[in-house]
Chain A
Amino acid sequence: MWNKIMVVAEWFGEMAERYKSIRDFNKAAKYSFVSGNAPTLLEVKITKGDSNFKHAFSKWMGGGFRIKALAGRPMSNIELREIGGIVLDNEELVRKLVSLGWDTLEIHSNEGTQGLKWPLKDYARLGGFLK
């Protein structure tokens, strides 16, 4: 019984941490845009993710970490890849995302149909534990 209570408490803690991460990112992105450091406003949303990228900690219907760039124009493949590369290069962030149940990193612009996605488990460097 105690174990179940702990599991429920952990679930709520995890959900709070997920929303806190998103809030922190969006707040930093807004600050960066308003202060003139960033040419585009970035926004993070939770999506259902790609079922091919699932791992042991994936959240059902909530595995996608989508960064949407409000650029007002279709962004090129190179620009999207650069943003994705910087996020994936931050190993601590990738591990946090994986442990909080995200499995897919998606980068989109608000115009156009192009977007890129990566499996987070391939960048967490956990020695194949999640596969």
Chain B
Amino acid sequence: MISEFIHNHSIILLKICSILAFIELVIILALIRYTLKNRNKLSDEELSQLEKLKDAKRADIDMNGLLDSINNSKAIHRELITKCHPDRFIDQGLREKANAIIQEINQNKNNYSVLVQLKSKAEQELNIQFN
């Protein structure tokens, strides 16, 4: 009597489990289909931008350089702009060089390390003496 009861109920339990497993399978397949469909919506350009963003997570930022730029770039930029201004040079060749350097200075006005490099370049090419 008891064994028959257990047998009947185990069959019912088995049926319920198999139905649940089937439902789970259907949900998983639907989710896979949904994911693949959404993935295809992204264009190649968007995918490359997404990869670029993922790479950016691991980028190593030079925080000391950033702090140097925050603290010192304004002063060095002002000094370079004053000393390398093309109007200070009478010679045509030097004036052209100064023009090129001043453009670089303005492009990198917030980057201290580049401004330091440009300072030494100005010293060499324009014969300027900095204090």
List residues of chain A with CB under 8 Å of any chain B CB. 14, 17, 21, 24-25, 27-29, 31-32, 37-39, 42, 57, 82-83, 85-87, 89-90, 92-93, 95-96, 98-100, 126-127, 129
Determine which residue in B59, B68, B74 has the highest number of CB atoms from chain A within 10 A of its CB, and name it: B59
Closest 8 CB pairs of A and B: A28-B63, A95-B56, A89-B110, A99-B56, A99-B53, A32-B67, A86-B110, A38-B71
Cross-chain contact B59 with A95 (CB below 8 angstroms): yes
* Minimum Cβ distance to chain B for residue A113 (Å): 22
Determine which residue in B46, B66, B72, B73 has the highest number of CB atoms from chain A within 10 A of its CB, and name it: B66
- Per-position binary interface string of chain B over residues 85-127, scored 1 when its CB falls under 8 Å from any chain A CB and 0 otherwise: 0000000000000000000000000110000000000000000
Cross-chain contact B53 with A32 (CB below 8 angstroms): no
Q: Which residues of A contact B68 (CB under 8 A)?
A: 32, 37
Cross-chain contact B52 with A126 (CB below 8 angstroms): yes
Q: Which residues of B contact A127 (CB under 8 A)?
A: 45, 49
Cross-chain contact B61 with A32 (CB below 8 angstroms): no
Cross-chain contact A129 with B49 (CB below 8 angstroms): yes
Residue of B whose beta carbon sits closest to that of A38: B71
Cross-chain contact B66 with A86 (CB below 8 angstroms): yes
* Minimum Cβ distance to chain A for residue B31 (Å): 10
Cross-chain contact A17 with B57 (CB below 8 angstroms): yes
Question: Known: A37-B72, A82-B74, A127-B45. Contact between A99 and B67, CB under 8 A?
Answer: no
Residue of B whose beta carbon sits closest to that of A30: B67
* Minimum Cβ distance to chain B for residue A89 (Å): 4
Counting CB contacts under 8 A, is B70 at the interface? yes
Contact of B66 among A28, A57, A99, A129 (CB under 8 A): A28
Residue of A whose beta carbon sits closest to that of B112: A86
Contact of A96 among B61, B70, B110 (CB under 8 A): B61
Cross-chain contact A87 with B66 (CB below 8 angstroms): yes
Question: Known: A21-B61, A85-B110, A90-B66. Contact between A96 and B71, CB under 8 A?
Answer: no
Cross-chain contact B64 with A28 (CB below 8 angstroms): yes
Task: Knowing that A28-B64, A86-B66, A99-B53 touch, tell me 10 more A-B residue pairs with CB under 8 angstroms.
Answer: A27-B63, A29-B67, A31-B64, A37-B68, A38-B67, A90-B110, A95-B53, A95-B56, A98-B53, A98-B56
